[in-house]
Structures are given as C-alpha cells and as structure tokens.
Amino acid sequence: MDEKRKNMLKNLPKIDEVIGLLEKQGIYEKVSREIVLEVCRSVVQKLRDDILIAPDKKLPAVTSDATGVARNVSNQIDNLYDYRLKRLVNATGVILHTNLGRAPLCPEALDRILEVGQGYSNLEFNLERGERGLRYDHVSRLICVLTGAEDALIVNNNAAAVLLVLNTLAERREAIVSRGELIEIGGEFRIPDVMTKSNSILREVGTTNRTRISDYEKAISPDTGVILKVHTSNYRIVGFTEEAELTRLVALGKQHGIPVFDDLGSGCLIDLANYGLQHEPTVREVLATDVDVVTFSGDKLLGGPQAGIIVGKKDILQKVKNNPLNRALRIDKFTLAALEATLMHYLVPEKAATSLRALKALTEPQGEVRKRARKLINKLKKASIPNLEYAMREDVAAAGGGSLPTQAILSAVVAVKSPIIPASRIEAKLRQAQVPIIVRVNENEILIDLRTVTEDEFGFIVNALRQIAVN
Ligand SMILES: *Cc1c(COP(=O)(O)O)cnc(C)c1O
C-alpha cells in the first residue's frame, strides 16, 4: 500500500468522535444507539474500502473529517424514514403491470382494509356458532354465487393455487399437460418448475402447436393423478394449431376417473366481448364444462388484490383445504377484506366494468381516453412550463399481466418533448419525482398514455414536469 493511502486510512475519523457529534445533534431522538453505531460503522467501513480499492485517479483528495462523516450518517438515518414502496402514476398504458402492482384497489376495498385492520376481526371465528371458523369462508359464498362453483378457496396468489392443487391431486403421480401449454409467466413462474416443486411428475403430450385429445388418452395410466390444462396467458400460437377442448378433456377425465384441472390465469368474471374486446372464457363458462377444479388470479382481469382463487367440486376442494401446504400459502386478512369488497362489484357485472379501475381502463371507449388526453394538454399548457411541447397522438395500450396478449387496445397519448432536454432525461426525472410518473420513451419524446391515467392524477404529472423545467 502506498504512503498516501496509509495516511488516509490513519486519518479516518474515530467512530466515537462521529457519534459524539451526532449526539450533540440529538440523533437519539430519531433512532436508537445501536442503529447509530451500525450506520456509523458501515459508513466508515465504506470509506476504508474505497481508499483501499479506488484506482489512483479516483482516490479522494483528502480524508473525510468527522463532520463530513457525521453528516453522511445523519442523511442515511433520515433516509430510513423514507417510504420506499410508494404510489406512482402508471402512464405506460399497460393496465395490469405486474411491476407496478397490477390492479389498483377500489375505494370500498380500501375502506374494508381500514375497517378490518384497525381492530380485531372474525377472521377465523364463526360468529353464529361461537367457534373456530375458516378464513376463506367469508368470501367463498360470494365466489360461488358469481361463478356457479360448488366451493371455493383463496390462497396467496395464483402461482400458489397451482402449486397447491397439483400437490394435492398429483403428488408423486403424473400430471398430463400439452407441450403447447408449458408456459413461462413473468420470469419466475414456469409451469414445468412449479410442477416439479409440487412433487408431481410432468407428463408432456403432443407438440408445441398441436395436441389432440388422443394424445392425452394415450398418456393415461394408473400413475395419472390429474389432467392439466393451462391458459397460455401471455402468448398465442397462430397458424397450424390444434388444442383439445376443455369439454373433451372433461369427458376423458370422467371416463377414466381422473380429475381435470384448468389453470385459467386471468380468470375473467365478465364477458369482455360485450366491450368490443376478444372473448375470454369467463370462470362461469369454464365451470359449466363440469371441469373439476379451476384456478385464477385476484389481481389480473378480476381487478382486485393479489390472491389465488381455487374453485370447483366440493370433494376436490375439501382435499385441497386439508393439504398441510394450504397453511403455508394462506391468504391474509387485508387481502380477504379487499377481495370481498371487490367481488361485490360483480353482483351487477356492468357496474364492475366501470367501477373497478383496471376493468374500466380496459373497457373504456377510446373517445373518452382521447378527451382525457386533450384535458391534460390544456392543463399542461395553462401551467406554462418553459421548454416543453405537447402533442396528442393515437397509440395502442395493452392489458398486461399475461392477459389478452394479442388484443390491441386503442388509446391516446400525450407526447412531451423539449428542444433542450433529452427524452431519456425527462423520463428519468419523472421516474424520480415525489410521486413518480412512469412513461414510455419514443425517440426524442416521452409518451403519457391516458388509458392508465385518471384525471385525479393530472396534478402529479404537472408538478413533476414543472420540476424538470426548474432543475
Ligand atoms: C398469471 C398466471 C399465473 C400466476 O398467477 P399469479 O397471480 O401471478 O401468481 C399462473 N398461471 C397462469 C396461466 C397465469 O396466467
């Protein structure tokens, strides 16, 4: 080690000295002694490491003094009080954006979370009988009424639902599935991997683009535990294709006494064709095939909180409920409260399409979106932010969340550009605003897609753009 580095290390302030300064500033009002010590140590350690590994050119000119280190520690302690998980404005036009929290909750769901969360609740207590109850019983009746299911169970998310059902029906046994349905959803959910973890044996049949009912039939053996059908959510095979219809799989299952399980993924409760979108089989339609068990997400096309909903035959659901794995995947009370309120919207299905934000974003006529884009431009023009130009343009939004991958959802965007600030910089600044605005970048402009933005959020956008002009 050279002399310079040695000297710098020697001159690093003592931890006690730094803590002494912080004490005088009343640091213990903010955090405990242990935390101050912990942050101090890590800051000094970092300085030491920097001195040891920095290339000569990057070596700081002078060693940080105690005051400088104390300021650094104090800032880091203040940062501990910043909320890292925060609300933001999704201006991407991707309605069910998994990275941005999928479906926003309806006001009733938020009220219920507050109501149920602020005190005790009958989460697992049967008020009629005065004895222990089951947490998912609170919403299963509503789900059964809305889907025609015999019974329902809710778990943490749909991936958990698939894992639980496969483990219940096909542990150490075979699950027959088409090669065309061995899908991956959002990176960490791959059907073959989930099957392995469920301890069931994957029995692939058919080819990527064609799987016939006879392929399933030939694969049936005494080792078969379940016939699995997976909604290919986020992709479509087009052209020369064939897939076995669910009704035929159900008939095949019945013939051999093997349960048939359909992982629907999105799980729509209303017919989207009524809104000019592609028809997605509704949960009720799927159950009408007499399939044994169906799973779907709470926060995809349903527009509620993250949850995995399992519906189907009573005897199968009973087995699933009795599986000890169920305990590990159970849903929490806030989600249940929010789900219950969300489901109630579907008692009048047309209302759900306008009152649940994700569904509204999906079904709203393009004319309304265009109107909102014009309003935003007016508001931005009134704000007279220097060096920004606005233009309205037609564009295409997406359902996201592995739903309706081939559906073009016509939308309207506000394109913002500046003759002096590059679009990438505008994007980064918006992303780091107090209430972050997440946008698309298109060459030298950023795009604000109004399909996923409400009028209530205009203020955040105007403020964030104003800040850009200031800095
Ligand atoms: C999205 C999806 C899942 C996973 O659901 P999560 O709610 O993300 O856990 C599983 N299967 C299919 C077919 C899906 O589309």
Atom from ligand 1 closest to the CA of residue 233: 15
Token code pair at residue 131: 């004895």
Q: Which atom of ligand 1 is nearest to the CA of 307?
A: 7
Q: What does the buried/exposed string (b/e) look like for 149-174 if buried means 16 or more CB atoms within 10 Å of the residue's CB?
A: bebbbbbbbbbbbbbbbbbbbbeebb
Domain ranges of the chain: 3-78, 89-95+362-470, 105-355
The whole-number pLDDT of residue 248 equals 95
Ligand 1, residue 402: give the atom nearest the CA: 15
Where in 307-420 does DSSP place strands (E)? 308-312, 389-397, 409-417
Q: Which amino acid is at 380?
A: L
Q: Each residue of 47-67: pLDDT tens digit?
A: 999 888 888 888 877 778 899
Indicate if the pLDDT at residue 471 is higher than 70. Answer: no
Cβ–Cβ under 8 Å, residues 310 and 153: yes
Residues with CB under 6 A from ligand 1: 157-159, 162, 185, 189, 230-231, 233, 263, 265-266, 297, 402
The average pLDDT across 183-187 equals 73
Side-chain half-sphere CA neighbours of 345 within 13 A: 25
The residue whose CA has the least distance to atom 3 of ligand 1 is: 265
Q: Residue 88 C-alpha to ligand 1 middle, in angstroms? A: 24
Which of 98, 164, 166, 233 gets mutated to test ligand 1 (max ligand atoms within 8 A of its CB)? 233
What element of type H or E holds 287? helix 283-287
In the predicted model, what is the mean pLDDT of residues 427-446?
97
The residues, ordered by sequence, that sit 6+ positions from 89 with a Cβ below 8 Å of its Cβ are 435, 436, 437, 438, 453, 457, 460, 461
Taking the C-alpha atoms of residue 350 and residue 340, their distance in angstroms, rounded to an integer, is 18
- Contact call for residues 133 and 161 (beta carbons, < 8 A): no
Q: How far apart are CA 203 and CA 399, in angstroms?
A: 32
CB within 8 Å of 413: residues ≥ 6 apart: 93, 373, 392, 393, 394, 395, 440, 447, 448, 449, 450
Residue type, 402: G
- Res 46: pLDDT: 92
What's the 297 CA to ligand 1 centre distance in angstroms? 6
Which two three-digit tokens encode residue 408? 């073009």
Q: If you classify domain 89-95+362-470 with CATH, what class do you get? A: alpha beta
**Of 168, 141, 169, 136, which is closest to residue 155 (Cα–Cα)?**
136
Quick one: which atom of ligand 1 is closest to the CA of 300? 7
pLDDT (tens digit per residue) in 274-331? 999 999 899 999 999 999 999 999 999 999 999 999 999 999 999 999 999 999 999 9
Task: Determine the distance separating the centroid of ligand 1 and the alpha carbon of 180, expressed in angstroms.
Answer: 16
Q: What is the pLDDT of residues 85-144, one digit of tens each?
A: 999 999 999 999 999 999 999 999 999 999 999 999 999 999 999 999 999 899 999 999
Tens digits of per-residue pLDDT, 353-410? 999 999 999 999 999 999 999 999 999 999 999 999 999 999 999 998 878 888 889 9
Per the structure block, which two tokens stand in for 66?
């105690």
Q: Which atom of ligand 1 is nearest to the CA of 263?
A: 13
- Of 267, 261, 257, 250, nearest to 164 by C-alpha is 261
Residue 346 zone, left/alpha/beta (φ > 0; ψ -120 to 50; rest): alpha
Correct CATH for 105-355 of 1.20.1250.20, 1.10.287.610, 3.40.640.10, 3.30.420.40 = 3.40.640.10
Task: State the amino acid at position 223 in one-letter form.
Answer: D
- State how far the Cα of 194 lies from the Cα of 191, in Å rounded to an integer: 5
Phi, psi of 309, rounded to the nearest 5 degrees: -105, 125
CA of 404: how far to CAs of 159, 176, 258, 267, in Å?
Answer: 19, 25, 30, 11
Q: pLDDT tens, 200-241?
A: 999 999 988 888 999 999 999 999 999 999 988 766 777 777
- Could you tell me the pLDDT band of residue 26, with boundaries at 50, 70 and 90? very high
Kindly report the number of other CB atoms within 10 A of residue 145's CB atom: 13
Q: Whose C-alpha lies nearest to ligand 1, atom 14? A: 265
Task: Give the atom of ligand 1 at the shortest distance from the alpha carbon of 264.
Answer: 13
pTM to 2 decimals? 0.93
Q: Do domains 89-95+362-470 and 105-355 have the same CATH topology?
A: no
User: Atom 15 of ligand 1 has which residue's CA nearest to it?
Assistant: 265
pLDDT category, 187, cuts 50, 70, 90? low
- Test site for ligand 1: of 157, 158, 184, 295, most ligand atoms within 8 A of the Cβ: 158
Integer angstrom CA distances of residue 402 from 49, 97, 233? 44, 9, 5
